[in-house]
Amino acid sequence: MKKIPIGISSCLIGENVRFDGGHKRDSYIVGTLSEYFEFRPFCPEVAIGMPIPRPTIHLVKINDAIRCVGIKDPSNDVTDALHAYADKVKQQHTDLCGYILKKDSPSCGMTRVKVYGEINHPPQRDGVGIYARQLLQNNPLLPVEEEGRLGDPGLRENFIQRVYVMYRWQQLVAEGLTAQRLTHFHACHKLIIMSHADYRPLGHLLTNIGKDNVESVAAEYIALLMETLKTVPERKNHVNVLQHIQGYLKKDLDKDDKAELSEIIERYRNGEVPLIVPLTLLKHHFRKSPDPYIDNSYYLSPYPQQLRLINQI
């Protein structure tokens, strides 16, 4: 499998583009994730002509508008330039399956960036970097996360899962959208959807799909799917899916195997074991008793197991 294209803030892969001439190389990103992702670096501040090193900038609220200006020289306003750069590289983002941004950055921060206001008042942690805001607006389907939030096991797993769903979607589109292929795509992801939310609204979109409306239905479907998957699954949701999958084995397991599987799922419900434990046991049983629906589902193997993302959730 070829590496998946991912946009990233240049400093996170070790490029010396920071305001102080340094970088913020992330060992998890350049180590583990680089084995599966092809990183395409972007540094909007350098791209708009700011030097290395350079005077620091920050977000300031001026007349109800958020501007990005120099700390020492407020007349150095780079807001419009950052906004324009995001629009300029929009076409370079069309084949990306995800994007990792630098936290706290006035250009690239995705959430909780400091916004300064009145003098002698503490900044508010409610801003979004100028470039990041336009990136999100230009690419509403794109899975986007900050490197700092990737330290959270649930957020990290959720982001990687969305990246692989987007990758498979782009493959589907490249092959050519048909009603049959779209319905199959939904069936393969149904259990993943169930772990996030009620799958029925997405299924309902496909009830009247045909040759004449497949493009419009597909656009509505992927928009709702990616919005649905933004929600990090709760443990109870996974339990419901695990028990649903267990039902496919009711005729194949003996009494002891059924009791063991039920016990493992209950231990996961109680937080005693990670999700990898019941999933591994289910895979073991389905190797002995294959089921075509489960074989085609991505829930048990949503991404390469070497990423070990479900070992901690």
Structure tokens at 283: 């895979």
Q: What is the pairing mode between strands 113-116 and 124-127?
A: antiparallel
Please state, rounded to an integer, the average pLDDT across all residues of the chain.
96
Instruction: Tell me: pLDDT of 310 over 90.
Output: no
**149 pLDDT tier (thresholds 50, 70, 90):** very high
pLDDT per residue over 245-288, tens digit each? 999 999 999 999 999 999 999 999 999 999 999 999 999 999 99
pLDDT in tens, 131-143: 999 999 999 999 9
Confidence of residue 309 (pLDDT cuts 50, 70, 90): confident
pLDDT category of residue 308 using cuts at 50, 70 and 90: confident
Q: Give residue-wise pLDDT tens across range 63-75.
A: 889 999 999 999 9
What mean pLDDT do residues 191-199 have? 96
Q: E strands, 244-296, where?
A: none
**pLDDT band per the 50, 70, 90 thresholds, residue 239:** very high
In the sheet with 99-101, reading across from the earlier edge strand, the strands are 37-42, 4-9, 99-101, 144-146
Name the percent of the chain lying above pLDDT 90: 92
Look at residue 49 and tell me whether its pLDDT is greater than 80: yes
Contact (CB, 8 A) for 283 and 250 = no
The residues with which 214 forms a beta bridge, in sequence order, are none
Query: pTM for this structure?
Result: 0.95
- Counting other chains too, the contacts that 197-203 makes at CB distance below 8 Å and 24 or more residues apart are 197/228, 197/231, 197/237, 202/228
**pLDDT bucket at 313, cuts 50 / 70 / 90:** confident
What sign does the dihedral 108-6-40-22 (CA atoms) show? positive
Q: Where are the domains of the chain?
A: 4-151, 153-313
